[in-house]
Chains A and B, each alone.
Chain A
Amino acid sequence: MDEIKTDFHYEVVIVGGGPAGLSAGIVLAKNGVKTLLIERGRFCGAKNLFGGIVYTEAIKEIIPEFPEVNPSPVERSVYEEGYIIVTEKGIVKITHTKADPQHAFTALRAKFDQFLAEYALGLGLDLAPKTKVIDFLRDDKGKIVGVVVDRPQSFKDLTPARITSQIVILAEGVNRLLSRKAGLITRDFAPEEVVLSVKEVLQLPKGEMEKRLGLKEEEGLAWEILGSISQGLPGLGFLYTNQNSLSFGIGIFLSALATVKIPPYEILEKAKAHPFFQKILANAEILEYGAHLIPEWGIKGFPKLYGKGVLACGDAVGLVNPLFREGTNLAIYSGIMAAETALSALKVGDFSEKTLAQYEEKIRSSYFYKDLLLAKELKTFLLKNPQLFTTYPELLYEALNLYFSAQGRLKQEVLKEIWRLVRRKRGVLGVIKDFINFLKLFW
C-alpha cells in the first residue's frame, strides 16, 4: 500500500488559483522554483466569475505563444467595442470596430483559469485543488514560514496538513481573509469600495446571436452599459459575446445597493426586460448565474503589499481598474511582479521585509498604479454626482431624438429646443460645473 508522505516543504506557496496566483506560479515554475499553488475550488476557475475581457498583451507576458494556443482558453476576439447609454425611452449607442480585434478577447473564468492551471502544471508547478488555506505557520520572529490547510495530513492523522515555505504569495482574491491575518490590511473593504456584480451567461439558438448582433462567426463584441440600466444607482452593466453564449451583467456599488434594498438579481431582470436588450436576449436560456464582488476604483492609499515572508497581489490588494475593465491583467502583472521579487529573494536567501519591499516599488512605478489613483478620484466624483447615471443619459437621448426628427422644422428652432432641454434637466451652470469637475480629474 502506498504510504503517503506527510512532510511538505516548498520554496514558494501560492494561495489562490485565479489569474494572479497562476501567473506567479507560471513565472516561478518556469524558473525551476519548487512551488505549490493551493486553490479551494474544485478546479481553478470553478469558484469564480468575471465579465470578462482579457487583454492579449498581459497574457503574452506569461504565455508568449498566446493566442496561438490549443485548445483556446478564450471565447471571441473583441471586434466591436463601446458604450450603450440606456434611458427608459430608448438608447444611445456609441461603438466602434477594432483595427486589431486580436488585442482583447472575451473569456469565461472556468475555461480560462483551467487553461492557465494546465499550462502551469506542464511547467512543473504543484497544484492542490479543493484545499483551503486556513492559517499561517510563523517562526519565533513572526515571519511567515508556511501555511496550514483544511485538509488532513493523512487518513490516519486527521490534523490539518502543514506546508512550510520560504515565501507565501497571497492571491486569494477579494475575500482577503488571509491578507488580513498576515497583517497587510487592517480593515475590510468599505461598502463604497466594492461593487457587487451579478451576471448571467445566456444562450440563444445557434446562429441567432450572430444574427441579432450583426456578427460574423469569430467576431465578438463588448459593450459597457450606462444609464437607467442600474435603476438610478451608481453602477455599470455589460454585455459580452462568448463563443456560443452571451454574458450579461451589472455591477453596483454595495453602498448604494444597501440604501435601496432591491435584490441585485431583480435589477438584472429589469435590465434584461428593457426593449433594447429584450430584442437581443429574447428566448435566451440561462446557462449560469452568479454574483461576485469587485474591489473597485483604487482604495484610499494602498494596503501594505508585503510583510515578513509574504507578498500579496491581484484583487486581494484591490488592483482593479473597472473603467478600462482592467482586473485580470492587473492580477497578471502583479502576480508576475510578486514572482520576480520572490525569485530575487530566493537568489540572495533573504526574505526580510527589506528585500520584499522591491515588490511594492515595482507596483508603485507601474502605469496601472497611476491609473488607479485617477480611478479613485473618479469614483468619488461619480458617487457624489448621481445625476450622471440618470440625467445625462436622458438628456443625451432626448437631444439626439430632437436632432434626428427635425425634418420640416427650422433647424434653429430645434437647437433652441435642445438648449431649453439642457437648462430644464440640469441647468447650464450644473452642466458646466460637472464638466469642469470631470476635466479636473485628469489634470
Chain B
Amino acid sequence: MASKKPEVWVFIEQEEGIIHPVSFELLGIAQKLAHDLEGRVGGVLLGEEVEGLIPEVFAYGAGVVYTVRHKTLRYYRHRPYAKALAEVVRRFEPEILLLGATPLGRDLAGGVATLLETGLTADVTQLSIDPQTKNLLMTRPAYGGNLMATIICPDHRPQMATVRPRIFPMPEKINGTKGEIVEVEVELTEEEAGVERIGFIPKEKSIQLELAEVIVAGGKGMGGKEGFSKLFELARLLGGEVGASRLAVEAGWISYEHQVGQTGKTVRPKVYLAIGISGAVQHRAGMQNSDCIIAINTDPNAQIFALSDLGIIGDWRKIIPLLIERIKERKGLGRN
C-alpha cells in the first residue's frame, strides 16, 4: 500500500440518479491537485443503483471510481452513508477527500471526519498544494467574509474539506473516458440507519434572491414595468432572479420581495447587475459583497460605479435588448 500513488478523492453526490454539479467541479480541481501530487483522482459513488453514473464520473476526470451499492443507500441518510464512505477511505487511504459544501455534503463530512478521526475544513473556496510540504492548503472565509483563513491538516490523513459550489470551474467533459472501477462491500443495516423517510414536500417555486447566483437588478432608471419585463427575460436566460431598489418597489414596478438593501434582502450572488440604480448606501448594504458587480447607468458620477467590476456609462435601453439577443444566439448554438 505504502508505495501506491497518492489519490485525491471526490465524494460524488447523487440523489435519485442525478449527480450534483459540484461533484464535477471538484473532479476538476482534484485533477489539478493530483497532478501536483503526482497521483490520481478517485470518485466515490454510494447508492443502490449507481452503475449508470460511472461513465460520467470518468468523463469528468476520475481515474478510478469506488462504489458501494446497497439497498440501505437508496436515499441519503447520515449513518449508512458515513459508515460506507469511512470504510472505503480506511481501505484505500486517499491523501485528500473533497465533498461539496452542499447541505448533504456538510451533513456527511462531519460524521466521516469523526469516524476517521481526521481534520475537516468547511466551506472552502480555494485549494492548492504546498510545494514544500505537499500539504493541502484549504482557504475559507471566516467571520462573515471579513477574513480569509488558510487551514492545513499536517499530520492526519485524509485531509478533508467541503468545498463551496460554483467556485471552481466545471471541467471539460470527455465522453468515453475509461478507468478503473472498484466495488467495495460494506455491511449496512436498516436498523443502524435509525431514520426513515416517510414523506417529501418538493420546494415550491418562489423567488429566492438570497440563493440566486445571478441577480439582475433594476432601479428608478428602468422607467417602468416594461423595463422590468426586460430584466425578467434576461434573468430567465441567465438562470437568475430579478432584484430591485426601493424606489423601483415604491413606484409599484415590482413587488417588495425583490427589494435589495438595508430594508430588503441581503444578497451575495456571483454576479449582480445593477441597472438604473444609483447605488445609495442603503442599497449597497444589501449587495456590496457580491462577487462581481456590473453597473449600467447614464450618470458617470453614479456611486454604483465605485464598486463595480464593470461599469457602463449609458442608457440600458441600448444595451439590455442587445445583450438578450446575444445570449439567445449563444444558447441556440450551445445546444447542438
The reply to whether A and B meet directly (CB within 8 Å) is no
